[in-house]
């Protein structure tokens, strides 16, 4: 049986950007029917290929707009590639957008069960892990507070604590550790490393090259949607830092 958990093969994704502003839905429909809407093609990713094996850890680095988050969304199944294919084996726990999956009018307690259901976890399982989620997030005094009143750091804590319960096959983390205090970031890093040691496959995006080097074995450097470099996290991180 293959140990490959993520197989990205020659993936490209194109977005069509409207050249002219359309001021109403009626105008948009009329122009669509007449075929008068003009688009500019924007390739967010072009010819991306790599594999990550079970228990592997891959860091994605690059400037804003390089395609990192788009690539994660393709792997998570949020976006469909225009060309190429993505094969994923196993369950995915995605931490792609802070607050995604939360209902901001519900309390933190209610959102634990809502977010768990979105991730495919049963209510029974969420009850079993509830105390662990509260303890790890350090939000015991705020579980009955609507999350619309949470800071970005508190949201990050709750989202991370929920996504990392149990042992998902694949954990996707996109800049979630960039918010919150340094001590909690270290706590999250330790949990990710423990998960890797338990054969969870990790895709990790961070602007902190030190974090990537610390957590990941390999790294992929994206530049304007292209693969600029692939190798060990140490090698790619060093080249990225001096570029």
Whether 1 shows a pLDDT value over 50: the answer reads: no
**Contacts within 8 Å (CB) and 24+ apart, 64-67:** 65/224, 66/222, 66/223, 66/224, 66/225, 67/222, 67/224, 67/225
pLDDT tens digits for range 197-238: 889 999 999 888 999 999 999 999 999 999 999 999 999 999
- pLDDT of residue 63 exceeding 90, the answer is yes
Query: Range with the lowest mean pLDDT among 21-30, 79-88, 132-141, 201-210?
Result: 21-30
Which residue has better confidence, 120 or 57? 57
The answer to whether 54 and 16 have CB atoms below 8 angstroms apart is: no
**pLDDT by residue (tens digit) across 163-189?**
888 888 999 988 777 766 788 888 988
Both tokens of 70, joined, read 């788009």
Q: How confident is the model at residue 31 (pLDDT cuts 50, 70, 90)?
A: low
pLDDT digits (tens, 9 = 90+) for 93-129: 888 776 678 999 999 999 999 998 988 889 999 999 9
Cβ within 8 Å of residue 111, ≥6 positions away: 102, 103, 147, 158
Question: What is d(CA 230, CA 222) in angstroms, rounded to the nearest whole number?
Answer: 9
Question: In this predicted structure, what is the pLDDT of residue 232?
Answer: 97
Q: What's the whole-number average pLDDT of the chain?
A: 89
Cα–Cα separations (whole angstroms), residue 3 to 69, 163, 182: 25, 23, 34
Cβ atoms < 10 Å from Cβ of 171: 24
- Report the alpha-carbon distance of residue 124 to residue 128 in Å, rounded: 6
In the chain, which ranges are continuous DSSP H helix? 25-34, 68-76, 108-118, 123-137, 152-163, 182-197, 209-215, 233-242
pLDDT > 90 in the chain, percent: 62
Check if the beta carbon of residue 202 is closer than 8 Å to that of residue 163.
no
pLDDT on residue 209: 93
Mean pLDDT of the region 21-25? 64
Domains of the chain and CATH, by start: 4-242 (3.40.50.300)
Residue 32: predicted pLDDT: 66
The pLDDT of residue 100 is 72
User: What's the pLDDT score for residue 41?
Assistant: 84
């Amino acid at each position: 049986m293959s140990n490959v958990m993520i197989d990205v093969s020659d993936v490209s994704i194109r977005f069509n950007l409207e050249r002219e502003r359309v001021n109403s839905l009626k105008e948009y429909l009329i122009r669509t029917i007449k075929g008068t809407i003009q688009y500019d093609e924007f390739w967010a990713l072009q010819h991306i290929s790599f594999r990550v094996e079970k228990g592997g850890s891959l860091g994605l680095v690059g400037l804003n707009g390089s395609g990192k988050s788009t690539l994660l969304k393709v792997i998570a199944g949020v976006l469909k590639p225009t060309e190429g294919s993505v094969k994923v084996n196993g369950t995915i726990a995605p931490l792609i957008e802070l607050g995604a999956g939360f209902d901001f009018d519900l309390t933190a307690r209610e959102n634990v069960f809502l977010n768990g259901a979105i991730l495919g976890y049963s209510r029974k399982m969420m009850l079993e892990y509830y105390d662990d989620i509260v303890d790890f997030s350090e939000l015991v005094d705020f579980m009955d507070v609507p999350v619309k009143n949470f800071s970005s750091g508190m949201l990050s804590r709750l989202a991370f604590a929920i996504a990392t319960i149990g042992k998902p096959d694949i954990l996707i983390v996109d800049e979630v550790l960039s918010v919150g205090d340094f001590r909690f970031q270290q706590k999250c890093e330790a949990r990710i490393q423990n998960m890797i040691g338990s054969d969870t496959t990790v895709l990790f995006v961070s602007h902190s090259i030190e974090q990537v080097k610390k957590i990941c074995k390999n790294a992929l450097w994206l530049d304007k949607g292209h693969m600029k470099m692939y190798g060990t996290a140490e090698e790619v991180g060093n080249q990225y830092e001096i570029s």
